[in-house]
Each structure stands twice: as structure tokens, then as C-alpha cells.
């Protein structure tokens, strides 16, 4: 039901987009890409402006059509809801990276178009925050110039079917930063819950896990893969903590067992999600740039969850972000510098990873 509604809403938006969009500008009028920078290199006022825009999008009313007891209150929730609804069809698939590339660019656009933010989406280069002894001191966790840090240590449920994340150190409500002390910051989840469930933002940092999967060695292993199929599998890893890649490294390193970032469905509820996914996108673009001509069209991987060996995703595969943007295809997001000329992405990174 909700899926249908968002499909029609997206179709409507797409129709508006197709009929009303001016032809892509060329020559000197072609839009210039936004330049995404690492969080710690932003000036204090740039960090403040970004966090202000996040708070603004958290407060704007949702566009998702209401349903009984809906937890989709804000524009921010529109995005979390879209992620929850599609969780089982956008992870461990060939379109995992394209979908999250588009999703992050839509968030960046919402901050700019709906909240007056003038900058680009920042990224979090977690390799700079390893080894384990450095992790909690990451500038992204700063209480004043970042997103706040850990929650106090809480026990995990001994009856949970999931074993605890190795090295977890927290699990309670974050105690510092711009999202602390707000008992209803999060409205959705845990897991696939979409009815109103007010919760605080929780983190359960695991410096051990972060150091194991987010250091330069794992990043290099990822970048050295020969084709998109292998590259994407090494990014996503397996469904087990011990089989993680850089994707799981960020989710479990920050969210552990009890934080939103460790919840496959509700993870975008932690505003750090977007900085982590911007960096995953940067890893992908770094890999693409190692052989750009070939890798602007290199796509494969299962259409269905974990169905390695099954039907591969192609450039024509559709991507939807619900009410927050028009439907596009994988082919539309392969070039981050498409900038209106056949592509919908228009940004770049100030600095890329290189193969060492």
C-alpha cells in the first residue's frame, strides 16, 4: 500500500520533471559540480551551516502520504522511511552502490533546496581515525564541532538472536553534540517499524571494529578489485560481522549492537550515515577513476538480495527514492559529474584515494 503510494508520487514527480525540465545547459552555462570535502577540513562556520541545515530538514513536514499511526513526521523521516521500505531490495545487490549514491545526492539537494545550505555534502574519511586508539577522538564525534559521540554502556539483550558486535562500548543515548538530549529525535524503527516510535539517537562505538574494517589496508583491498562485481562485494562484505567490508565497518563501528547506525533498516536516522555513505561513494568514484572509460559503465551484481550468480543488474535498472526525487536508472548515476548532460549527479570530491 505505502509502496504503491510512493510509486505514484514518484511517477508524478517524474512526469513533472520530464515535462518541465529545461534542456540540459551546455558550454559555459553547464552547472559546475559541488565539491565535497572531508568533515575535519571544513571551516567552523561551514560545519555550523551544515549542522543547521540537518536540524532544519529534521523539522520540515513530511511529504510521504499519511498512513495509520505513521512515524513519518519530517522530510528527514521521508528518507529514513524510503530506506526502511526498500532495505531488502537495495542491500547485497548490484545496485547497492548506485542506489546509495543517488540517495545521498538527494539528501544533499534537500539540504540545499529546502534548507538554504550553500555547501556540498561532506564526507568522513574514516581511514584518518584509525588505529583503534584514535577512533573516539575523531572530529566527526566532536561535541561542539561534530555530531557528538558515544552513548553510555548498556547491556545487550541476552535473548537477541544477534551476537553482540565485537568491541562495542556504548549503546545508550548520545550524551554530547547537537543531537543529545532529544528523546524523540528518531521516529521510526527499530528494524522495519514505520509506526510512530519516539527514540533518542543511540551510538555504540566499537573502536576495535572500526580499526579492523575502516583502515587504509581494507580500503586498499577494496580499491584493488578488478571489476565492479568484485569491488561491490568487497565493499559490502558478507552478512556476518566477521565478513564485513568498509560498509559494515562504518555501520557497526558507530552503531554497534544498539545504535541506529548498526540497524540495517533505520541506519539513516543517525545523521552520520550521510558522511559515511559519501565516503563509500568516494571509494567507488576513486575506483572508477582508476580506469574511468571502462568503469563509467561497469555494473553487475544480483538484482535480488545475495543472489550472487543470478540475474545481474544492468544500466537500465530503476532506482527510486520515494517522494524525495524522480525515479532514475543506474546508468543515470554512474558519472558523478553528469551535471545535466544526460546525468543527474553533479558533484566531485576534493581528493580521492589512490592505489598504493
Q: Which residues bind ligand NAG (CB under 6 A)?
A: 211-212, 215, 217-218, 221, 227, 229, 300, 312
- Nearer to ligand NAG (CB atom), residue 300 or residue 304: 300
Nearer to ligand NAG (CB atom), residue 131 or residue 198: 131
To the nearest whole angstrom, how small is the minimum distance from the Cβ of residue 151 to ligand NAG? 25
In whole angstroms, the minimum distance from the beta carbon of 150 to ligand NAG comes to 20
User: Minimum Å distance from CB 94 to ligand NAG?
Assistant: 8
For the bound state, the minimum distance from the C-beta of residue 322 to ligand NAG, rounded and expressed in Å, comes to 28
Rounded to a whole number of angstroms, the minimum distance from the CB of residue 133 to ligand NAG is: 11
Joined together, the cell numbers standing for residue 179 give: 543531537
In the bound state with ligand NAG, the residue whose beta carbon lies nearer, of 232 and 339, is: 232
Report CA torsion sign: 279, 285, 289, 291: positive
Tell me the closest approach of the beta carbon of residue 16 to ligand NAG, in angstroms. Answer: 35
Give the HSE-up count for residue 212: Cα atoms under 13 Å, Cβ half-sphere. 18
Instruction: Classify 57 as helix, strand or coil.
Output: helix
Nearer to ligand NAG, 300 or 329 (CB): 300
Q: How far out from the chain centre does Cα 252 lie?
A: 14
CA 217 to chain centre: 22
The per-residue DSSP string of 21-33 comes to PPPPP-GGGSPPP
Phi, psi of 213 (to 5 degrees): -115, -5
Q: Which CB, 197 or 300, lies closer to ligand NAG?
A: 300
* 248 three-class SS: helix
User: How many other C-beta atoms lie within 10 A of the C-beta of residue 4?
Assistant: 8
The DSSP 8-state label assigned to residue 113 in this structure reads: H
Give the residue nearest to ligand NAG (CB): 229
Grid cell in block for residue 156: 545487550
Residue nearer to ligand NAG on the CB measure, 229 or 340: 229
Q: Helix or strand or coil: residue 199? A: strand
Amino acid at each position: 500500500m505505502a509502496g504503491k503510494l510512493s510509486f505514484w508520487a514518484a511517477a508524478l514527480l517524474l512526469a513533472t520533471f520530464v515535462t518541465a525540465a529545461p534542456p540540459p545547459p551546455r558550454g559555459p552555462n553547464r552547472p559546475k559540480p559541488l565539491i565535497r570535502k572531508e568533515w575535519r577540513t571544513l571551516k567552523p562556520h561551514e560545519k555550523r551551516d551544515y549542522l543547521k541545515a540537518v536540524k532544519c530538514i529534521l523539522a520540515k513536514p513530511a511529504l510521504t502520504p499519511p498512513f495509520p499511526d505513521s512515524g513519518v513526521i519530517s522530510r528527514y523521516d521521508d528518507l529514513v522511511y524510503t530506506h526502511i521500505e526498500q532495505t531488502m531490495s537495495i542491500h547485497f545487490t548490484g545496485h547497492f552502490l548506485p542506489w546509495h549514491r543517488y540517495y545521498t545526492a538527494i539528501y544533499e539537494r534537500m539540504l540545499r533546496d529546502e534548507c538554504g545550505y550553500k555547501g556540498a555534502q561532506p564526507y568522513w574519511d574514516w581511514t584518518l581515525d584509525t588505529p583503534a586508539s584514535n577512533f573516539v577522538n575523531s572530529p566527526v564525534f566532536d561535541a561542539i564541532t561534530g555530531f557528538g559521540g558515544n552513548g553510555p554502556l548498556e547491556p545487550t539483550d541476552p535473548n537477541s538472536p544477534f551476537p553482540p558486535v565485537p568491541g562495542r562500548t556504548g549503546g545508550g543515548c548520545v550524551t554530547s553534540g547537537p543531537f543529545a538530549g532529544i528523546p524523540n529525535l528518531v521516529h521510526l524503527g527499530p528494524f522495519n517499524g514505520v509506526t510512530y516510535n519516539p527514540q533518542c539517537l543511540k551510538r555504540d562505538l566499537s573502536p576495535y571494529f572500526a580499526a579492523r574494517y575502516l583502515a587504509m589496508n581494507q580500503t586498499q583491498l577494496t580499491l584493488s578489485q578488478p571489476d565492479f562485481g568484485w569491488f561491490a562485494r568487497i565493499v559490502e562484505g558478507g552478512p556476518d560481522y566477521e565478513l564485513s567490508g568498509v560498509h559494515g565497518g562504518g555501520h557497526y563501528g558507530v552503531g554497534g549492537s544498539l545504535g541506529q547506525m548498526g540497524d540495517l533498516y533505520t541506519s539513516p536516522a543517525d545523521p552520520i550515515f550521510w558522511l559515511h555513505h559519501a565516503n563509500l561513494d568516494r571509494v567507488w568514484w576513486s575506483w572508477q577513476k582508476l580506469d574511468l572509460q571502462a568503469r563509467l559503465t561497469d555494473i553487475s551484481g544480483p538484482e535480488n538480495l545475495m543472489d550472487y550468480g543470478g540475474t545481474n543488474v544492468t544500466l537500465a535498472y530503476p532506482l527510486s527514492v520515494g517522494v524525495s526525487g524522480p525515479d532514475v536508472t543506474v546508468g543515470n548515476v554512474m558519472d558523478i559529474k553528469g551535471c545535466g548532460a544526460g546525468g543527474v549527479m553533479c558533484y566531485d570530491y576534493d581528493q580521492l584515494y589512490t592505489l598504493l
